[in-house]
């Protein structure tokens, strides 16, 4: 979006976005190791970074096919993606029959030098095949890593490969440094600062929001977002490729390096300060927002720990399939309309001697009508899926006063927001080459803003529901204190309260003795 606003072409914008979208797993791992950081947020960060690496390689492979002459038309784009997945399927299928067996046979010989040579040979071989097919060598090396891991000997091979990786990493960065003129970075300092701000702000907000909506808690999500706010080494590879193909000018490389240097310098600081920033944000947010965050995390945990007799997936499979189908058909309508637009207008204008503006208007109206049908279908299916998930956590009590309506309504709205982002953002990204600059993002922004406003209003209702429930719990505790009774009686009382307060996290009685330590 930033590149497009600056007047650059679609393919230039795509490659510039690719240059700044990836994060560096190596930098994050080194920072965690130096600070001896452990915990759930570290695991979450690594999971995000691994998925980020996989996505970046796929994006690079698609952009490589586009840059090789396929173009950005919907037909060419679909053909490029189909060829990419066909190549990946053939490479994985063929590699699974050869590489894991060969690696196991070499490992059984018990000679580390042969094992290392076999792993490196697999890497170079797959990279060469990818290069011959017209894709990035990084894609082939990535597939080689998957195939070597499938041998079951990954734990033994990884320490052997680590020194080789460090050597090649050093050579890589030395080669990058030799291509850089610091004066070129200074000459393009406005672009360096703009894209650095996009990386820092965009990744912190995007990763934090996505991690929180997936139920990882506020503190862990913020820390993961700050830990991913840096640019990876793939930016150099993608920038070099775009320059070699004549897609981007030579000025892009110093900009990519400048952004990477600045974000990698700030990465250790942001990772080190992530805990204090998360705590400060948590302490300063409104009480009703704190209540919502606590309850939302507990609802997601209940959804994850649902009884396995009937899996959650088996209950939502149909809704997910229909939602994906509606989204795919929506994209197909937009892309297909763009593909045949000029041909249809020309044919109808010449054959029926109709005014071009009338044909254009009719075609646009038909496209918008079809798109609206599938868009509304996707929104309805997302709402149905959100209701189904919410009712698994906060069931509707048939024939009785629905005391769980306030928390359930809020949970439904937040799930709808999450689904709109999960489906909408990739859809907007794929439709962007075929639509005007602001059309697709504007629709998504309108839907998201409407949901955010509804969520904020219902957070206040939840806060009132929680305050009333808290007063009821206090009354139960006071009554229990006056009447006495054991833990069984206390648990029975809390079970009665739980029935009256659907949506509340599970409550467990805890007896406090006089000698129990008191918090400050």
What's the CATH number where 11 sits?
1.20.1530.20
Please tell me whether residues 265 and 350 are part of one structural domain.
no
Mean pLDDT for the stretch of residues 361-373: 86
For residue 421, is pLDDT > 70?
A: yes
Encoded tokens for 168: 């090649």
Range of the domain at 481: 312-500
Please tell me which residue, 286 or 154, carries the higher pLDDT value: 286
Please tell me whether residues 204 and 141 are part of one structural domain.
yes
Q: How many CB atoms lie within 10 A of CB 280?
A: 12
Encoded tokens for 107: 């490992």
Please tell me whether residues 493 and 348 are part of one structural domain.
yes
Per-residue pLDDT band for 25 (boundaries 50, 70, 90) equals confident
In this structure, is residue 459 part of a structural domain? yes
Mean pLDDT for the stretch of residues 321-340: 84
Please tell me whether residues 253 and 354 are part of one structural domain.
no
DSSP label at 286?
-
Cα gap 57→91, rounded to integer Å: 15
Instruction: State the total domains in the chain.
Output: 2
Q: What is the pLDDT of residue 277?
A: 93
In this structure, is residue 432 part of a structural domain? yes
Mean pLDDT for the stretch of residues 297-301: 87
Mean pLDDT for the stretch of residues 422-433: 79
In this structure, is residue 50 part of a structural domain? yes
For residue 361, is pLDDT > 50?
A: yes
| Residue 370 burial by Cβ neighbours in a 10 Å radius (0-12, 13-18, 19+) | middle
Please tell me whether residues 257 and 356 are part of one structural domain.
no
Per-residue pLDDT band for 445 (boundaries 50, 70, 90) equals confident
DSSP string, 138-154: HHHHHHHHHHHHTTT-H
Cα gap 93→422, rounded to integer Å: 30
Please tell me whether residues 228 and 365 are part of one structural domain.
no
pTM over 0.95: no
Compute the C-alpha angle 508/513/517, nearest 5°. Answer: 95
Contacts of 458 (CB under 8 A, 6+ apart): 406, 409, 410, 413
In this structure, is residue 304 part of a structural domain? no
Please tell me whether residues 31 and 93 are part of one structural domain.
yes
Compute, in degrees rounded to 10, the torsion defined by CA atoms 50, 51, 53, 59.
Answer: 170
Please tell me whether residues 398 and 464 are part of one structural domain.
yes
What mean pLDDT value characterizes the chain?
80
Please tell me whether residues 275 and 348 are part of one structural domain.
no
40-67 pLDDT per residue, tens: 888 899 889 888 887 887 777 777 766 6
> For residue 14, what are the CA distances in angstroms to 63, 242, 341, 371, 458?
8, 10, 23, 24, 38
162-201 pLDDT per residue, tens: 888 888 877 877 877 776 778 888 888 888 899 899 999 9
The CB-side HSE value for 392 (13 A sphere, CA atoms) comes to 23
Please tell me whether residues 10 and 130 are part of one structural domain.
yes
Q: What is the 3-state secondary structure (H, E, C) of 45-81?
A: HHHHHHHHHHHHHHHHHHHHHHHHHHCCCHHHHHHHH
> For residue 12, what are the CA distances in angstroms to 3, 57, 302, 376, 443?
8, 18, 45, 33, 24
Per-residue pLDDT band for 153 (boundaries 50, 70, 90) equals confident
Q: Is residue 246 within 8 Å of residue 40, measured between CB atoms?
A: no
Please tell me whether residues 448 and 330 are part of one structural domain.
yes
Q: What is the pLDDT of residue 520?
A: 43
Per-residue pLDDT band for 412 (boundaries 50, 70, 90) equals very high
In this structure, is residue 299 part of a structural domain? no
In this structure, is residue 349 part of a structural domain? yes
Match 């580390």 to its residue by tokens: 112
Match 């700050």 to its residue by tokens: 226
Write down the number of H helices and E strands in the chain.
19, 0
The CB-side HSE value for 165 (13 A sphere, CA atoms) comes to 11
User: Helices in 353-404 by DSSP H: which ranges?
Assistant: 356-393
Match 């997601």 to its residue by tokens: 300
In this structure, is residue 253 part of a structural domain? yes
202-215 pLDDT per residue, tens: 999 999 999 999 88
Please tell me whether residues 18 and 137 are part of one structural domain.
yes
The distance from CA 163 to its chain's CA centroid, rounded to whole angstroms, is 31
In this structure, is residue 292 part of a structural domain? no
């Amino acid at each position: 979006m930033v590149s497009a606003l600056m007047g650059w072409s679609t393919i230039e914008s795509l490659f510039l976005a690719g240059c700044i979208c990836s994060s560096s797993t190596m930098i994050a791992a080194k920072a965690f190791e130096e600070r001896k950081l452990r915990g759930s947020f570290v695991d979450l960060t690594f999971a995000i970074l691994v998925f980020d690496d996989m996505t970046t390689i796929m994006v690079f492979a698609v952009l490589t096919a586009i840059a090789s002459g396929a173009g950005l038309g919907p037909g060419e784009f679909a053909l490029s993606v189909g060829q990419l997945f066909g190549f990946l399927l053939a490479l994985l299928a063929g590699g699974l029959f050869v590489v894991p067996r060969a690696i196991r046979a070499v490992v059984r010989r018990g000679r580390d030098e042969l094992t290392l040579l076999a792993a490196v040979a697999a890497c170079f071989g797959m990279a060469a095949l990818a290069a011959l097919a017209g894709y990035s060598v990084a894609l082939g090396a990535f597939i080689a890593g998957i195939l070597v891991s499938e041998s079951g000997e990954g734990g033994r091979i990884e320490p052997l490969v680590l020194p080789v990786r460090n050597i090649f990493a050093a050579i890589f960065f030395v080669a990058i440094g030799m291509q850089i003129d610091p004066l070129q970075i200074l000459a393009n300092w406005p672009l360096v600062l703009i894209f650095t701000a996009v990386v820092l702000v965009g990744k912190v907000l995007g990763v934090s929001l996505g991690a929180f909506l997936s139920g990882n808690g506020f503190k862990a999500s913020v820390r993961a977002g700050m830990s991913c706010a840096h640019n990876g080494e793939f930016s150099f590879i993608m920038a070099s490729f775009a320059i070699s193909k004549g897609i981007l000018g030579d000025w892009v490389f110093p900009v990519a390096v400048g952004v990477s240097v600045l974000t990698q310098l700030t990465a250790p600081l942001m990772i080190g300060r992530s805990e204090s920033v998360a705590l400060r944000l948590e302490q300063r947010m409104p009480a009703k927002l704190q209540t919502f965050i606590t309850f939302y995390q507990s609802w997601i945990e209940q959804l994850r720990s649902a009884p396995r007799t009937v899996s959650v997936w088996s209950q939502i499979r149909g809704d997910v399939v229909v939602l994906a189908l509606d989204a795919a058909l929506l994209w197909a309508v937009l892309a297909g309309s763009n593909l045949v637009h000029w041909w249809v207008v020309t044919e109808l204008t010449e054959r029926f001697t109709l005014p071009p503006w009338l044909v254009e208007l009719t075609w646009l109206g038909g496209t918008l009508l079809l798109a609206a049908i599938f868009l509304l279908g996707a929104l309805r299916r997302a709402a149905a899926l959100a209701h189904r998930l919410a009712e698994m956590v906060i069931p509707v009590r048939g024939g009785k006063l629905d005391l769980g309506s306030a928390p359930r309504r809020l949970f439904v709205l937040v799930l709808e927001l999450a689904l709109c982002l999960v489906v909408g953002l990739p859809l907007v990204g794929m439709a962007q080459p075929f639509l005007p600059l602001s059309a697709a993002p504007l629709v998504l922004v309108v839907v998201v803003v409407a949901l955010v406003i509804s969520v904020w209003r219902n957070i206040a209702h939840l806060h009132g529901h929680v305050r009333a429930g808290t007063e009821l719990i206090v009354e139960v505790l006071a009554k229990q204190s006056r009447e006495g009774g054991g833990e069984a009686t206390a648990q029975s009382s809390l079970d009665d309260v739980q029935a009256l307060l659907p949506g509340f996290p599970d409550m467990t009685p805890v007896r406090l003795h006089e000698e129990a330590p008191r918090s400050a």
